[in-house]
């Protein structure tokens, strides 16, 4: 019996050694055959898998810690400008900043933010700047510059500047010597301090970097987006293609987000953790509005290119609506036909007083991987005839009779009669869609104008 046991152990050890050598051989082959871009994808995948593994291990601790993270007992804040006693507002714009070795864009970011906002916008918004550097000369100079340029906003309670520090127990520590590891560590510490201070100022929290340019009336875009998504579950709304800037959260989720970030080593990439956090709270795919309303300011440094690959805005060009047939159960008026809503020209489709459950269905001739979709309704000149209550879905598993898809995935609700979103897919889901469905979710007592449905598809790369 004992001899049999030792033979089993020997066989198991042999299998372990054999597996090791096979893995080494496979890694060598991959190294020789993959391009630089493929290696970056592999690294990102490994990071995602590591985060997922650690997230499962720490889930019970996350549940216990999410109310009062112990590490934040070491947080120390100093008010530098403004009044911390604030009435609750709609949105807190959180910006963390530290001393940079190259040019600083913090003042330009604040200038862009206030110039992009109307007086009415500013009534619903608090700008919170957290300075996390310990150099007293830099702090004094930075606060002096902010006060000199933005004193009216400080006096009116729209701008608050604080200094934040955290003890050495921020998170599990490990030695890191890479520039990216140091950058991630500083970014994570600043983000935790910023979100912790911002927990009670507003209903929503917008995370911005200190090198961001804002589109005009960005608050209006955020307001209508959160209103449109009010009846649907969401964790993060993304208004930029940058890795961390442009993300909007419920402030009620900030405590959980802070606790989640603290579970991982300091130098774990913050942007990867943020994407996984949404999954933790059951938002299975990103909600990414297009076009972006926040943009990177200045040129990308070598470190940023390396540590945040692919952060630059990608130009998808013009829509390429693939060949399709359009069906509807809505009553068309003024000789308009449903196909007109899908053709990329000035034609449109008018529907008479649609009711809840009505639809306009685009059935593609061939399944396609859709990466972005936009819906335009109503008239910009008259500001009338919008589809105020509607959702867009993409579908797969095409059925022959009647022409429709068996399964659908929600892209999102229309916001002020419009939708323009990037389309993402869960890891194991079907990625080629056959249907695009515009669904009416409440009755309208007036005609609606479906101006255009625009589709961007992933172009297959030609094999060299």
Listing DSSP states for 328-385 in one string gives ESS-B-TT--GGGGTSSSS--EEESS--TT-EEEEEEEEEE-EEEEEEEESBTTTTBS
**Distance from the first to the final alpha carbon of the chain:** 60
Co-location of 216 and 183 in the same domain: yes
pLDDT-flagged residues of the chain (< 70): 1-71, 73, 167-177, 299-305, 309-314, 460-464
CA quadruple 380, 385, 391, 396: dihedral sign: negative
CATH number at residue 296: 3.90.550.10
Residue 12 falls within a domain, yes or no? no
Of the candidates 261, 276, 307, which is a domain's last residue? 307
Of the candidates 278, 307, 336, which is a domain's last residue? 307
Q: What is the pLDDT of residue 263?
A: 84
Co-location of 292 and 362 in the same domain: no
Residue 59 falls within a domain, yes or no? no
Residue 438 falls within a domain, yes or no? yes
438 SS3 class: strand
Q: Tokens in use for 342?
A: 């899908």
DSSP secondary structure letter of residue 401: T
| Contact (CB, 8 A) for 227 and 417 | no
Co-location of 193 and 333 in the same domain: no
| Closest to 123 (Cα-Cα) out of 156, 85, 84, 81 | 156
Q: What is the pLDDT of residue 114?
A: 96
Q: What is the pLDDT of residue 5?
A: 42
Residue 34 falls within a domain, yes or no? no
Co-location of 334 and 300 in the same domain: no
Co-location of 301 and 337 in the same domain: no
CATH number at residue 409: 2.60.120.260
d(CA 438, CA 198): 38
Residue 14 falls within a domain, yes or no? no
Of the candidates 307, 333, 352, which is a domain's last residue? 307
Q: What is the pLDDT of residue 403?
A: 87
Q: What is the pLDDT of residue 144?
A: 94
| Closest to 311 (Cα-Cα) out of 295, 291, 298 | 295
Residue 173 falls within a domain, yes or no? no
d(CA 129, CA 93): 8
What are the DSSP E strand ranges found in 34-166? 76-81, 89-97, 125-131, 159-165
Q: Which residue has the tokens 């990608």?
A: 314
Co-location of 152 and 204 in the same domain: yes
| Contact (CB, 8 A) for 253 and 235 | yes
Residue 43 falls within a domain, yes or no? no
Co-location of 397 and 453 in the same domain: yes
Co-location of 349 and 294 in the same domain: no
Range of the domain at 106: 70-167+179-307
How far is the CA of 177 from the CAs of 166, 267, 375, in angstroms?
A: 21, 10, 48
Helices (H) and strands (E) in the chain, counts: 10, 19
When divided into structural domains, the chain yields a total of: 2
Co-location of 302 and 251 in the same domain: yes
Co-location of 212 and 295 in the same domain: yes
Residue 24 falls within a domain, yes or no? no
Count of other CB atoms within 10 angstroms of residue 425: 17
Q: What is the pLDDT of residue 132?
A: 86
| Closest to 289 (Cα-Cα) out of 203, 206, 172, 380 | 206
């Amino acid at each position: 019996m004992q001899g049999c046991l030792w033979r089993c152990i020997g066989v198991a050890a042999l299998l372990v050694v054999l597996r090791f050598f096979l893995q080494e051989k496979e890694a060598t082959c991959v190294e020789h055959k993959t391009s630089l871009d493929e290696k970056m994808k592999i690294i990102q995948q490994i990071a995602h898998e590591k985060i997922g593994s650690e997230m499962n291990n720490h889930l019970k601790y996350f549940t216990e810690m999410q109310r009062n993270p112990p590490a934040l007992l070491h947080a120390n804040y100093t008010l530098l400008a403004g009044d911390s006693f604030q009435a609750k507002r709609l949105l807190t714009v959180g910006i963390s900043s530290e001393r940079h070795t190259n040019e600083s864009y913090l003042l330009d970011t604040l200038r862009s933010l206030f110039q992009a906002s109307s007086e009415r916008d500013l009534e619903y918004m608090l700008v919170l700047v957290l300075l996390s550097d310990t150099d007293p000369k830099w702090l004094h100079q930075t606060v002096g510059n902010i006060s000199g340029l933005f004193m009216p906003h400080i006096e009116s309670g729209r701008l608050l500047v604080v200094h934040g520090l955290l003890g050495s127990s921020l998170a599990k520590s490990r030695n890191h010597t890479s520039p990216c590891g140091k950058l991630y560590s500083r970014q994570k510490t600043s983000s935790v301090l910023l979100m912790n201070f911002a927990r009670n100022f507003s209903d929503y929290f917008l995370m911005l970097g200190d090198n961001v340019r804002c589109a005009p009336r960005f608050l209006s875009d955020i307001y209508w987006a959160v209103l449109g998504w009010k009846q649907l579950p969401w964790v993060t709304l993304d208004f930029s293609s940058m890795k961390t800037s442009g993300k909007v959260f419920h402030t009620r989720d900030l405590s959980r987000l802070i606790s989640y970030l603290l579970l991982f080593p300091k130098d774990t990439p913050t942007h990867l953790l943020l994407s996984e956090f949404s999954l933790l709270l059951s938002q299975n795919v990103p909600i990414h509005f297009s076009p972006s309303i926040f943009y990177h300011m200045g040129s990308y440094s070598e470190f940023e290119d390396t540590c945040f690959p692919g952060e630059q805005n990608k130009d998808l060009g013009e829509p390429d609506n693939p060949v399709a047939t359009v069906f509807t159960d809505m009553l068309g008026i003024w000789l308009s036909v449903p196909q007109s809503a899908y053709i990329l020209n000035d034609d449109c489709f008018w529907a008479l007083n649609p009711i809840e459950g009505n639809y306009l269905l685009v059935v593609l001739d061939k399944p396609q991987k859709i990466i972005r979709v936009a819906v335009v309704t109503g008239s910009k000149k008259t500001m009338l005839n919008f589809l105020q209550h509607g959702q867009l879905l993409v579908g797969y598993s095409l059925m022959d009779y009647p022409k429709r898809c068996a399964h659908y995935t929600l892209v999102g609700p229309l916001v002020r009669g419009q939708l323009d979103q990037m389309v993402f897919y869960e890891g194991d889901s079907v990625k080629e869609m056959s249907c695009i469905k515009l669904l009416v979710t409440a009755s309208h007592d007036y005609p609606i104008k479906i101006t255009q449905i625009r589709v961007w598809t992933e172009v297959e790369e030609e094999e060299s």
